[in-house]
Amino acid sequence: MSYENYRDLKERAFDRFRLGAQVMKGDMVNPIPAKQKTIEERAINKESEREAFRVLNGYPEQDRTNRHTLAAAVVQSLMRDPSEKLGKEFTVLSKARQQLPATEDWDSMFASPGAAEWPDPYDFVMPEGGEDQMADLKEGEKK
């Protein structure tokens, strides 16, 4: 696989699995807790399961935004009453969801902005057939 194909595959995966949002006041990031990676490695032994953990259940991004999520956030912010604005500047970051937030979700994010919580890997349960499906996808990449 060429580097260009690999980069395209990663970008499409980001667009597919990072449609959720987190809205914060000002110019912010959501830094990963210092021990999060260590806890993930202890709690989830297989790398394929750690990959699944990071694309499911609202796993937040530290400093990246999906382009579709950002476009939806711009539209949602323009639809709001100017008195409800978060100020002159707010940050939208992605989190792992396979659907864009509903209007009600945007309402709550704009009403009480804040960074998403980092999930506890000890609570993660691998979906049925999840590892087999990931292996099938990787085999398809090799062909």
- pLDDT tens column, 65-76: 999 999 999 999
Residue pLDDT, tens place only, 42-90: 999 999 899 899 988 899 999 999 999 999 999 999 988 777 766 778 9
Q: Residue 11 pLDDT more than 80?
A: yes
Q: Which tokens sit at 47?
A: 């790398």
Q: Where are the beta strands (DSSP E) in the chain?
A: 20-25, 90-95
pTM over 0.75: yes
Considering only CA atoms, which of 50, 48, 56, 53 is closest in space to residue 98?
56
